[in-house]
Amino acid sequence: MPDQQLYDRIGRDYASIRKADRRWAAAILSAVGNATTVLNVGAGAGSYEPTDRPVIALDPSATMLRQRARNAAPAMAAAAEAIPCHDGAFDCTTAILTIHHWTNWRAGLAEVKRVTRRRIVVLTADVFRDDEPFWLKEYFPGINAWDRAHIQPIDDVLQELWPARVERLPVPADCTDGFCGAYWRRPAAYLRPEVRNGISGFSQIGDRETEQGLSRLQADLDSGVWNERYGGLLDRDEIDIGYGW
Ligand X SMILES: C[S@@+](CC[C@H](N)C(=O)[O-])C[C@H]1O[C@@H](n2cnc3c(N)ncnc32)[C@H](O)[C@@H]1O
Q: Which residues bind ligand X (CB under 6 A)?
A: 4, 7, 18, 41-45, 47-48, 59-61, 64, 79-81, 96-98, 101-103, 108
Minimal distance, residue 109 CB to ligand X, in Å: 11
Is residue 130 within 8 Å of residue 138, measured between CB atoms? no
Q: Which is nearer to ligand X, 37 or 212 (CB)?
A: 37
Work out how close the CB of 159 gets to ligand X at its nearest, in angstroms, rounded to a whole number: 20
**Secondary structure E strands in 50-112:** 55-59, 75-77, 90-96
CB of 223 to ligand X, least distance (A): 33
Q: How many CB atoms lie within 10 A of CB 165?
A: 8
Which residues lie below 8 Å from residue 114, measured CB to CB, with a gap of 6+?
Answer: 83, 87, 88
Which one, 47 or 197, has the nearer CB to ligand X?
Answer: 47
Q: Which is nearer to ligand X, 62 or 145 (CB)?
A: 62
Residue 228 CB, nearest approach to ligand X (Å):
33
The residue of the chain with the least Cβ separation from ligand X equals 44
Report d(CA 174, CA 237) in Å as an integer.
8
Least Å from the CB of residue 197 to ligand X: 12
Cβ 79 vs Cβ 108: under 8 Å: yes
Distance separating alpha carbons of residues 196 and 189, to the nearest angstrom = 9
96 vs 154, which CB is nearer to ligand X? 96
